[in-house]
Every structure is written in structure tokens, then in C-alpha cells.
Structure 1
Amino acid sequence: MLDVAGTWLDAGDRQLLRQPEVGGIILFARNTESPRQVRELVQSIRSLRPEMLIAIDQEGGRVQRLRNGVERLPALGRIAELASCKDKTEVAEIASTAAWVMATEMLACGLDISFAPVLDLDYGRSEVIGNRSLGRDPQQVAELGKAYIAGLHKAGMAATGKHFPGHGWAEADSHTDLPIDERSEALIRASDLVPFAQLAAQLDGIMPAHVVYPAIDAQPAGFSRRWLQEILRGELGFTGAIFSDDLTMAGAHVVGGIRQRVDAALLSGCDMLLVCNDRGAAEEALSHVQQVGLTPPGNLQGMLARRQPGINYKADPQWRAAITLLRGLDLLGETA
């Protein structure tokens, strides 16, 4: 899964998209101006590759790539805060509604998935996670995560939990450093792993963290067969797609150059590799997998959109009810 340069495809983008080993595109803020422009960009991608998986990070709060012409969504932490003053069932419905609104808008743009929900715990230690989390209590995160997933599925979007097995304790940002979580395996299993364990059957995809957990393995989770094959697949019974986190991030450099990172991610069991914001690395990774020869895993098909709402979805009474609920709780910002 690669990225493209801007709000429309240039010649270099088109050449990359024609390579059959490129199975997905992820959009960033630089690729998004408005829902209409995103729809046109997606259409141009699909004119070359109709089966292409197209993703975005549209969590809400500070991680919302498309901001103009759509609802300004709350960070998941805002929803988690309501658990202290509202009934659990009510908060779960709010989480589900927020997910449904996000998914409906993204599907209407022609996108397949937003990489969500974040299932990391918020210990107040990791600035890169922070209020992206559904809280500190593992059971609360699991319950609200389940509701969020249900909202995505109701809209027709697959759910991708991140960052397995939990990035909340490690303080360093894996975009710029290699985070290390030195806690015991027993403690990690009793806390951060709980949401992933409880939701493995509901999740369609999972993205592992570029974090090292020395008590379990010397390699970051995304390059660890122990984490991905023995624990995630074997113990938790997860059968969906595993997406590497971006292989250009600093936390991935521990295993070597981009070719070594590609090999390590594939060997660990990742089904789709993200190589973003570095066209040179993307081209080198592509050349490498072309030499190796790969057969796309079948479980990626389950990540494609299950429904594409029409662009007039705002006339739907269900939409109006959802927006009324979220605005009444002051959970939505201004729309453009």
C-alpha cells in the first residue's frame, strides 16, 4: 500500500498504480481538499485499478485527513470521557454512531476503509496516542471498541484495530524513534492485549505497533512471528488481514533498509505492507517484491467496502438523527 503525490494523479503515480504488486493506496491530508475532489481522485485510481483497496486515517480529533466538507469528528478520548457520567449502554451507542457517521462519509467519497479504531490504552504516557484512545481501562476500551466496530460494519466499512498489542505505555513516538515497552508479558496480557483479545473475532484487520516488547520478543511487534503468528493468529484466532504500520517510520528501521523491512514484515505474517511518504523507498520496495514474487492473500478482499452510500446521504433520516445526537453532546466541530 503506497501513497500518491497530490490531489490528482501524476505520471509517476499512474506508473506505480499499474504494477500489480501495488494492492492499496492510502490518502493523506495533502490528497484531500473536499469530498468531491476525493471522489474524483478515487475514480481516477479505480479507472486504472478497479479492485484497488483505498484507505485513509479518519479517526477524528487531530487525526482526520479530510476536514473540509465533512463533519469534524471527536477524538475517541472525548467519547471515553462520557463513560464517567453516562450509562455504559448510552456511551456505546454514541461510539457506534460516531463510527457510522465517519464511515458513511468516507464510503460516500469512494474510500474502502479508515484505519480505525485505535485500541491502545491511554496511560497518559504516550503523546502519539493520548486522546486517540478510548480510555485507560482495558474492559472499557474493549466494550467501546466493540460498539465502534459495530458502527463501521453497519455503514458497510471493515474495521482495523491498531496498534497491536498496544502502544499506550511506550513513551517514544514510533514515527521518529523506536519505542520500547519493558513491562512483563503477564502485565501486557492483563492490560493492553485485552481489547485485541476480546475483539479479534469482530475485527477485519489489525495493524501492529512498531514497538519492542523485550519480555516477549526482541523485534518490534510488526516484525515478530511470536506476536503475529503465535499470539495473534494462534492464540487469539484472528483470521483477518494484517497491515504493517508504515515501513518508513523510524521504529521500523531497526531491522535494516527497506528491503530488509519488507522481508521481515512478510516473514512475520503481514498481508499488506505500507510504504508511505518516501517515493524512493516505495519504488525500491516494489522492485524487491517483484523480484521475490508474491501472491496476494485472499483475506484482503474482506477489507473492500461493502456498501457505497450515495452522495445525498445527508437527506437520510438516520443521518439527521445521528448528527443531532452527536451535536447535542457537543461532539462535532464546525463543517466547512
Structure 2
Amino acid sequence: MGKKYLGPVVVDIEGLTLTDEDKKMLANPWVGGIILFGRNYKDRQQLEKLVQGIRGVNSALIVAVDHEGGRVQRFRSGFSRIPAMQQLGVVFRGDSERGLALTKSVGWLSAAELLASGLDISFAPVLDVDCGLSDIIGDRSFGQNPEDVTLLAAAFMDGMHEAGMATTGKHFPGHGGIKEDSHLELPVDDRTLDELEQRDIGPFRSLLSRTNALMPAHIQFPRIDALPVGFSAWWLKEYLRQKLGFKGVIFSDDLSMEGAVGMGGYGDRAIKALQAGCNAVLVCNNRKGALEVVECLHRSFDSVVVSGLESMRAQQSGSWDHLQQGARWREVTLMLDEIKG
């Protein structure tokens, strides 16, 4: 039987199938979700079997993936190739009506194919505005104009919602304005809040009604607050929750990234992120770190912190056969073939 609540820790696994150690981790009451990577994928049949195995351990778990498109698409062979979001921006700038329609359809397609394999969410879309500086964002962004990013991301989110998938905007309040990569170091952005609000924050603020979850960046803005965003109560509680009025789920970015190292050991990082306002914390590519997190949380709290992750559960599902027999799937895949050509 699935638990009636979901804990705040999102973990990963190493291979194509579940080991006994994986099953033990997924059954831990502090674990509320699992994120899959390219190493967990061979083909659709294997993926569906893996998801079934995960559900067999705990049917309530949220099963997630980073499947934005372009260079961040974990499942490729057997899935439609989703273009980088900047390619959709190029179509939009040539023909805004066609670009928005295509973007909505791509949002639907990417979500529908994941749902058909049993997953709940993709951590998408990127709401970062590309300022021509960040290699890690770059073509993952819809473009360099905040208004364009807002319109295109809204269409993409509408498509995801139409398929039945919750949306996750990232990386709040914007990772596009600085070159450093938070996977490798803690970026420091010296812009003021006023500068951010005039550009980077615009899409996040405008799309709150469509956004089911947000993921803050591991970036420090010293002229605003001393702590990196994902560990800052000012950013998450005072600004995002109180000033902007966001009511959805807040996922930390991966606590294994170098941008989080300054917050201490894995357990300390998790506690600080949760205390700052995150509902859930991701711990990827380090099983020892994930174990440290669940053990530390167990020692530090009287009961499991309820994450609210159940709100991210898929609202619709269907088989691959059913999906591929539909006119919508055929229409969108043909549209993608056109822009690739």
C-alpha cells in the first residue's frame, strides 16, 4: 500500500532496474519522489517496467525526469526528439502565431509521452531569460526577451497541462544573467533586485498562475541576500511566498551540485533548504549523500516533514499505443520534422 503522505526527499538510482538497496531507499518514509536519468533508460519497455517496479515499492511516489528538450532530454531512442526551447523561440520570432501553437503542441507532446510511460512530471519549462552569458542555460531558454519568454513558456505550460502534467518553472529568480555554472561552483550575481525584476523575474512573476512548482537556482545575489536563493528564507518565504504570492511546491535544485557545497554536509544542506522554504530537496548522483540526508532528517525532526508532492501527481495517463494512434501525436511529430528539416 502507498503511504498517505510523501516525504520531502527526491532521490535517484544507478541502473536500469531496482536493486535491493534502491527498494529500501524508496520505501523510506522520508522519500517522496525519484528522479530518473539517461542511465536509467534503455527503451520504452524497460522504462515502463522500471516505473512499475518503483510503484510496486511505493505507489505514492512522484516519478520525475529532466526532459526539457534539446541537450536536456534524458529519454531519446523511442521518444520524439524535443527541440531546444530556443529553436521554438526562433519559430516564434518569424511567425508568432505559428510559434505559440507549435510551442503549446511541443509542451503537450513531451508531457504526453512521459505520462504514457508512467511518469508524473518533467522538471520543465526553463523560465530563465538568456542574456548571452550562461553556457549552462543558453539554448535551454526560450530567448533573450522577457516578454517572449513569458509568452512561449505560457504556451508550453498550457500544453503540459492539457496532457495532464504539472509544471515546474526553473531556475528562480533567473540563471541566465551569469556565466558561472552552479553545477561546478557557486555563481555570484551582483545585480540588484530592481535589475532582476526588470528582466529575469518577469516570466516567473507573470506565470505564477500556471506554475505548479518552482525550482530556485544555486546562485548568490549578495546585494539582495547573503545566502544562495535555495537556502534563503528571504528569497523563498518573504519574496516568493509573501510578496509574489506563490502557493505551489518549491523543489531545491540538486544538493549535490557544487553551488550547494558551502551550506555544509548533505544533511545540513537539506535542513537549511527545508527551513528556508523548500518543500522538497533533490539529492542526485550520490547515494551516500542521500542516505546522510534521510538519516539526518530522521534525527532532527519528530515526524516526517510532509512535502505536498502529491499535488504534482499526473492527472491523466494512457498507453503508448493509444497515444500513437491519436491524430494529435501524428500532427505534432510532423510539425517537429518540418522545423528540423
Measured after TM superposition, the shift of residue 262 of structure 1 is 1.0
CA contact (8 A) 1:176 1:249 kept: yes
Distance 1:330 1:81 in 2: 12
Matches within 5 A, 1:46-85: 46-85=55-94
Runs of at least 4 residues off by over 6 Å: none
Measured after TM superposition, the shift of residue 131 of structure 1 is 0.1
Measured after TM superposition, the shift of residue 236 of structure 1 is 1.3
Matches within 5 A, 1:3-14: 3-14=12-23
SS at the partner of 1:73? coil
Deviation string, structure 1 residues 224-268 (Cα, Å, up to 9, x no partner):
111111111111111110000000100001111112111110111
Distance 1:33 1:329 in 2: 27
CA contact (8 A) 1:129 1:167 kept: yes
Question: Number of residue pairs matched?
Answer: 330
Distance 2:57 2:268 in 1: 30
**Partner in structure 1 of residue 6 of structure 2:** none
1:151 matched to 2:154? The reply is no
Amino acid at match of 1:41: L
Amino acid at match of 1:169: G
Amino acid at match of 1:234: Q
Measured after TM superposition, the shift of residue 296 of structure 1 is 4.3
1:167 matched to 2:175? The reply is yes
Deviation string, structure 1 residues 200-245 (Cα, Å, up to 9, x no partner):
1110010000001112111111001111111111111111100000
1:99 matched to 2:102? The reply is no
Structure 2: stretches of 5+ with no match in the other structure = 1-9
Distance 2:311 2:257 in 1: 26
CA contact (8 A) 2:93 2:99 kept: no
**Partner in structure 1 of residue 150 of structure 2:** 142
CA contact (8 A) 1:233 1:239 kept: yes
1:229 matched to 2:241? The reply is no
**Partner in structure 1 of residue 326 of structure 2:** 316
Distance 2:320 2:81 in 1: 18
SS at the partner of 2:63? strand
Amino acid at match of 1:315: Q
SS at the partner of 2:319? coil
Matches within 5 A, 1:196-211: 196-211=204-219
Deviation string, structure 1 residues 101-138 (Cα, Å, up to 9, x no partner):
11011001100000000000111111000000011111
Matches within 5 A, 1:1-336: 1-86=10-95, 88-293=96-301, 294-297=303-306, 299-312=308-321, 313-330=323-340
CA contact (8 A) 1:201 1:237 kept: no
Distance 1:323 1:279 in 2: 38
SS at the partner of 1:329? helix
Distance 2:232 2:307 in 1: 21
Distance 1:5 1:38 in 2: 14
Distance 2:224 2:98 in 1: 38
CA contact (8 A) 1:113 1:303 kept: yes
Distance 2:199 2:297 in 1: 37
Distance 1:77 1:306 in 2: 28
Distance 2:305 2:40 in 1: 26
Amino acid at match of 1:224: S
CA-based RMSD of the aligned residues comes to 1.1
**Partner in structure 2 of residue 334 of structure 1:** none
Measured after TM superposition, the shift of residue 330 of structure 1 is 2.1
Measured after TM superposition, the shift of residue 298 of structure 1 is 5.9
Deviation string, structure 1 residues 55-96 (Cα, Å, up to 9, x no partner):
00111111011111111110001111123211x232111111
CA contact (8 A) 1:170 1:211 kept: no
